């Protein structure tokens, strides 16, 4: 009392098995890499730790000084640019709104076309699926 599997069932089962094997192989490869490189990475971190700490101690005061020196310049630039940005936004606002209103009918038409295309595609996909299910493996 065995029924023949359809081609789509056979293909699906084979793909699933292949993907399962690939996942297992990837997991094993990850374990092998971790076992091989893990001790090396730990040794490199231990060897580099004193140099990294020394570099951080040397750089931290320089970064703080640069930030302190740049703060007034950044604040001044922000103050001088802010009114220009606001004026530009006020000037371009009506144009953006007009462009949005002009594009609205086209956007709606494109949305309706996409909905219609999706609705037309549904029965075709269903028919193709049914054809595949009816098609038995010889």
Residue 96 has pLDDT above 60, yes or no: yes
Average pLDDT score over residue span 58-67: 93
Among 46-50, 79-83, 114-118, 130-134, the minimum mean pLDDT is found in 130-134
Q: Which pair of tokens denotes residue 39?
A: 């001790």
Distances (CA, A) of 6 to 13, 68, 102, 129: 11, 73, 53, 11
The pLDDT of residue 9 = 80
The pLDDT of residue 2 = 64
Residue 84 has pLDDT above 80, yes or no: yes
Average pLDDT, the chain: 87
- Residue 136 DSSP SS3: strand
Query: How many angstroms separate the first and last alpha carbons of the chain?
Result: 17
Q: How far is Cα 8 from Cα 131, in angstroms, rounded to an integer?
A: 10
More confidently predicted of 35 and 119: 35
Q: How far is Cα 75 from Cα 71, in angstroms, rounded to an integer?
A: 6
Q: How far is Cα 130 from Cα 33, in angstroms, rounded to an integer?
A: 46
The pLDDT of residue 136 = 56
Check residue 4 and report its DSSP letter: P
Q: Which pair of tokens denotes residue 6?
A: 């359809």
The pLDDT of residue 1 = 53
The pLDDT of residue 18 = 86
In which band, very low, low, confident or very high, does the pLDDT at 11 lie, cut at 50, 70 and 90?
confident
């Amino acid at each position: 009392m065995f029924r023949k599997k359809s081609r789509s069932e056979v293909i699906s089962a084979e793909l699933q098995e292949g993907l399962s094997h690939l996942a297992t192989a990837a997991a094993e490869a990850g374990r092998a890499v971790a076992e091989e490189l893990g001790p090396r990475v730990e040794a490199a971190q231990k060897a580099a730790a004193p140099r990294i700490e020394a570099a951080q101690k040397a750089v931290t005061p320089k970064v703080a000084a640069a930030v302190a020196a740049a703060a007034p310049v950044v604040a001044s630039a922000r103050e001088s640019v802010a009114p220009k940005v606001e004026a530009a936004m006020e000037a371009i606002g009506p144009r953006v709104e007009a462009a949005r209103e002009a594009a609205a009918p086209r956007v709606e038409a494109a949305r309706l076309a996409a909905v219609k295309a999706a609705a037309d595609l549904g029965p075709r996909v269903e028919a193709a699926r049914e054809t595949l299910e009816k098609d038995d493996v010889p």
